[in-house]
Structure 1
């Protein structure tokens, strides 16, 4: 989850998001700093759908409108920020986002453990059947296929694919 995402990290011409940094926080949110990603391969460009780009444009416009009305604690523009007066403009903490989404999941009546990292597994499972391993590996920011395999979960449909070979022989 890239909470250090800024407008300049979005390439609207190519529908890509550049991931190469992350926030780290010690004690108070206002004392955050920007670090590079965990590894060199974690830095990557990820192609997204036009709908995602549309939503990012709307978010950026809304944040610009808020900036015109209120003073932000941080000069740099980040996309995922607190709007409370004492920390307005400061990037969200990972723990805050996890806690908020957990509450949303619970309110929906889902009684399973949840954290935002699971969305990486979901994305990998959803796209794995539609792309080459190299593409999935690059999208996840991994250096080798073995790490990506942890994220890729076999779907029911994939488990049945080997049977197609036998069905050809049986016909």
Structure 2
């Protein structure tokens, strides 16, 4: 049995039957190709011959390379999904990954920015240039609307309702949600579209995309990461920040200001309230720190 052929079949299964996003599919395929490379180079076995013991040894080797527990858990999840697919397709009689166990994960608390830090990063954008105005607008939309980076770069002008003040956002699994647009953010977007974006020579296929690169085409995730890295360094903030940090910060600041958790769930597009509840732990940590700072027995 050929590894590449079965990985191709697995990719089609994830995309067309499970309707997974491109990012999720790419992550699964990356993990399975690493198993393929190990199996071919060290064991000379195909996907129908690799055993539970082989997979255990592979994961043991990886664990010694100081990868995070979350990465290790994802490898196990990818292996289970791939070999379950082969078994259900009757390409194997057994599933060698069924007994694999990943590391126990603790509660993951996302890193956040204070409101002052967000202001510093926003202020670091040079609004004297069109590029700086675009970057300023990108940060404001990431933070002010709580978007994922994939949602930001896919945002269409036709999905902005300035009259009713909301964005139509296509999230994970093609789920559509409507995100309220603050007056400040709405005015900023209008100014960007009329006075900055209009200066671009726009690729015909990208005429409806809100944010464009210097060639007039849709932006990539990598460009957004680079923009944030440069602005963060310019603002003098030492934290490691990604586009998702602004989404976490947005949710945390909403909760701190008294917003109901259910509304935050809707705004972020979380399918489960459990995902949103992680922000209550952030609030609890903040409360604990404040109490300990002023506690009479903690002086």
1:72 aligned residue (163, 185, 203): 203
1:91 aligned residue (207, 218, 226): 218
8 Å Cα contact 2:202/2:217 also seen in 1: no
CA offsets, 1:112-133, max 9 Å, x none? Answer: 1111101111001011142222
How far apart are the structure 2 equivalents of 1:121 and 1:12?
25
1:65 CA displacement: 2.9
Q: Which structure has more helix as a fraction of its residues? A: 2
How far apart are the structure 2 equivalents of 1:116 and 1:139?
17
Aligned to 1:59: 192
How far apart are the structure 1 equivalents of 2:202 and 2:248?
38
- Gap change, CA 1:151 and 1:119, over 3 Å in 2: farther
Aligned to 2:172: 38
How far apart are the structure 2 equivalents of 1:139 and 1:71?
31
8 Å Cα contact 1:77/1:89 also seen in 2: no
Q: Which structure has more strand as a fraction of its residues? A: 1
Q: How many residues align?
A: 139
How far apart are the structure 1 equivalents of 2:264 and 2:177?
12
Aligned to 1:128: 255
1:6 aligned residue (156, 159, 169): 156
1:64 CA displacement: 5.4
1:77 CA displacement: 2.2
Aligned to 1:149: 277
How far apart are the structure 1 equivalents of 2:156 and 2:196?
11
Larger Rg: 2
How far apart are the structure 2 equivalents of 1:145 and 1:159?
23
TM norm structure 1:
0.70
How far apart are the structure 2 equivalents of 1:14 and 1:122?
25
TM norm structure 2:
0.42
Higher relative contact order (CA 8 A, sep 6+): 1
CA offsets, 1:17-63, max 9 Å, x none? Answer: 1101xxxxxxxxxxxxxxxx3235x4210112111000111111135
How far apart are the structure 1 equivalents of 2:206 and 2:238?
40
Structure 2: which 5+ runs fail to align? 1-148, 290-299
